[in-house]
């Protein structure tokens, strides 16, 4: 049995059938419509969404069905059933209707993210650790979900603000040069913004770029002028003013030729576009309202470009895997910068310059990570370092001083490398693949980028979330020590590190 938050609706289940009643006047309760049959499995749990427009029903067979009850007299099933690993004992919606949780008979809690339209993004994340069946469940604000099991134990699960849903499936993330803003591109071509002045507490901003305005491949943020350039769904490049935190404005100027991707040139006074004919073209944007072409198109067979932080060097990947470097010091007369680089076999999927522009990295579908020293014109076309990644590499970025590099691919891990030795700095950062009914559903990153200042990095994930990570191990150690008592540690050490002799951490003796 469940009641809506306003107390006007009551739902209860009779085996596999759900009944809705109007109880706004408790003395004259009335049935709404006809009972809705959901299947043969008994319904064990019901929950209303905070706005009262949706009802979730959990069954003994382990399915969660969602009903649109905007018209309570004609409830409509939303999408296919959500599959869990055990019978569903209890259900709860998050306070903003952005999450749905199910307490299960197998002692787990299944947690799904919902987008603005109420669509489930992906397979559930699983919270494991209860000692018996989870029989009670509720959200305590946006950051905590409380589970109560049949043994009477209560467990408080912290859902950190550094993992959030942007409202739709994210396609890319980009930090502003100062690191104080984060742009999140969504599947519908819109862009939303977060204040990341304190990356441990990201705050949603009102500024929004509308749907269809920015495709994932064609977005670049200026390092000097608070500008964002992107290619819209029609192949036109536009420039947006990001000078204020609370709004963005599109300049009147439109790059007239069809474009697929963009990058800013020196001083962010010029813009590079890759045209539909796969050649590159530079444009003057001294006045973003009136862009004008600079010189002639250059290069060929390009499908991806990235620029150095100062915009004076451009890397342009050919569809055949080779990578051309260009000197853009004089934007009206771009010239080749040294030898063409031997890039990934078949296709380059990710490229980045180090902040000082002296090192260049590329990755692709052949699992290779390649680094070149490109400090001067005489660099070799062959990489100075080649390292195999566990999987396809389609995101790559350097940290603020170029000593670390992050890569992401199809596996559900992030890898952070020491650029001096190309050894991994830590164990791979696990993205916590969910296991439901014995099947594994990995959370795969769709982008990865270091914050321009500090040790944070951001990833967008295919489960519909964005995650901010602090990669400073000392900060993590300090947090663990603050939450742990000395008496707890020997037993926990034996549980997690049985192969290593106990050594007292946190300065304890």
Comparing 216 with 155, the larger pLDDT belongs to 155
Q: List Cα–Cα distances, 507 to 336, 477, 478, 501, 504, in angstroms.
A: 55, 11, 11, 17, 7
Instruction: Tell the residue number behind the tokens 């550094």, with chain if given.
Output: 162
- For residue 196, pLDDT beyond 80: yes
**Can you say whether the dihedral through the CA atoms of 33, 35, 37, 38 is positive or negative?**
positive
| Closest to 92 in 3D by CA, of 38, 147, 129 | 147
Dist. CA 96–CA 79, nearest whole Å = 20
Tell me the percentage of the chain whose pLDDT exceeds 90: 42
Q: Please say whether the beta carbons of 4 and 22 come within 8 A.
A: no
Reported confidence tier of residue 432, pLDDT bands at 50, 70, 90: low
Cβ atoms 162, 202 nearer than 8 A: yes
Give the tens place of pLDDT for each residue, 346-401: 788 899 999 999 999 998 888 888 899 888 777 777 778 777 776 788 899 999 99
| Per-residue pLDDT band at 435 (split at 50, 70, 90) | very low
Tokens of 123: 């397979």
Tens of pLDDT, residue by residue over 238-281, are: 899 887 767 788 998 888 766 778 888 888 899 999 887 889 99
The whole-angstrom separation of Cα 242 and Cα 263 is 16
Give Cβ neighbours of residue 165 (< 8 Å, ≥ 6 apart): 98, 99, 113, 114, 115, 121, 464, 465, 466
* Distance between CA atoms of residues 220 and 229, nearest Å: 5
User: By the 8 A CB rule, do 38 and 65 touch?
Assistant: yes
pLDDT tens across 439-486, in order?
455 578 888 999 988 789 999 888 788 989 888 777 777 777 776 666
Which residues, in sequence order, are bridge partners of residue 353? 360
pLDDT at 345 over 70: no
Helix (H) or strand (E) holding 67: strand 63-68
User: Which pTM does this prediction carry?
Assistant: 0.81
Residue 324: per-residue pLDDT: 94
Closest of 156, 167, 226 to residue 191, by C-alpha: 167
DSSP code for 424: B
SS3 459: strand
What are the tokens at 70? 């905007």
Tokens 């959500």, located at residue? 82
Render pLDDT for 252-263 as a digit per residue (tens, 0 to 9).
Answer: 888 876 677 888
Q: Could you give phi then psi for residue 482, rounded to 5 degrees?
A: -70, -25
Q: Which residue has the tokens 């008994």?
A: 42
Strand partners, 395: 408
Token look-up 């890759």 returns: 274
Whether residue 284 has pLDDT greater than 90? yes
The tokens describing 413, both together, are 């891990």
- Residue 341 backbone dihedrals phi, psi, to 5 degrees: -85, 140
Tokens of 22: 């109007």
């Amino acid at each position: 049995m469940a009641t809506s938050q306003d107390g006007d609706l009551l739902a209860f289940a009779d085996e596999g059938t759900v009944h809705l009643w109007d109880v706004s006047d408790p003395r004259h309760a009335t049935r709404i419509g006809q009972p809705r049959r959901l299947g043969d499995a008994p319904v064990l749990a019901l929950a209303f969404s905070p706005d009262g427009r949706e009802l979730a029903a959990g069954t003994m067979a382990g399915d969660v069905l969602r009903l649109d009850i905007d018209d309570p007299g004609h409830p409509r099933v939303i999408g296919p059933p959500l599959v869990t690993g055990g019978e569903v004992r209890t259900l709860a919606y998050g306070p903003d209707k952005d999450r749905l949780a199910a307490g299960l008979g197998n002692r787990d809690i299944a947690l799904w993210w919902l987008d603005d339209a109420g669509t489930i993004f992906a397979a559930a994340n699983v919270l494991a650790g209860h000692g018996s069946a989870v029989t009670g469940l509720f959200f305590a604000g946006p950051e905590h979900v409380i589970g109560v099991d049949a043994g009477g134990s209560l467990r408080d699960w912290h859902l950190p603000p550094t993992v959030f849903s942007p409202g739709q499936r994210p396609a890319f993330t980009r930090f502003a040069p100062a690191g104080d803003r984060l742009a999140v591109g969504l599947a519908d071509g819109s862009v939303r913004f977060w204040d990341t002045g304190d990356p441990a507490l990201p705050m949603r901003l009102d500024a929004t770029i509308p749907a269809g305005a920015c495709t994932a491949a064609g977005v670049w943020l200026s390092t000097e002028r608070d500008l964002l350039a992107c290619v819209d769904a029609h192949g036109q490049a536009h420039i947006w003013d990001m000078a204020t935190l609370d709004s963005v404005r599109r300049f009147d100027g439109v790059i007239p030729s069809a474009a697929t991707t963009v990058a800013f040139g020196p001083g962010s006074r010029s813009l590079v576009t890759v045209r539909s004919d796969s050649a590159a073209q530079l444009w003057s944007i001294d006045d973003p309202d009136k862009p004008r072409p600079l010189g002639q198109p250059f290069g060929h067979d390009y499908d991806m470009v990235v620029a150095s932080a100062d915009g004076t060097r451009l890397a342009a990947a050919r569809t055949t895997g080779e990578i051309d470097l260009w000197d853009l010091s004089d934007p009206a007369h771009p010239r080749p910068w040294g030898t063409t680089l031997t890039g990934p076999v078949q296709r380059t999927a990710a490229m980045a310059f180090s902040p000082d522009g002296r090192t260049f990295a590329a990755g692709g579908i052949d699992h290779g990570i390649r680094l070149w020293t490109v400090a001067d014109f005489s660099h070799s076309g062959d990489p100075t370092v080649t390292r195999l990644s566990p999987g396809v590499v389609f995101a790559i970025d350097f940290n603020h001083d170029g000593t670390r590099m992050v890569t992401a691919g199809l596996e559900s891990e992030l890898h952070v490398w020491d650029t001096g030795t190309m050894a991994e700095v830590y164990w791979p950062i696990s993205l916590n693949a969910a296991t439901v009914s014995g099947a594994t559903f990995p959370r795969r990153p769709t982008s990865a980028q270091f914050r321009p200042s500090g040790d944070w990095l951001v990833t967008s994930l295919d489960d519909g979330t964005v995650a901010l990570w602090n990669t400073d191990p000392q900060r993590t150690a300090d947090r663990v020590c603050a939450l742990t008592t000395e008496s707890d540690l020997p037993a926990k050490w034996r549980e997690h590190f049985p192969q290593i002799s106990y050594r007292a951490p946190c300065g304890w003796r």
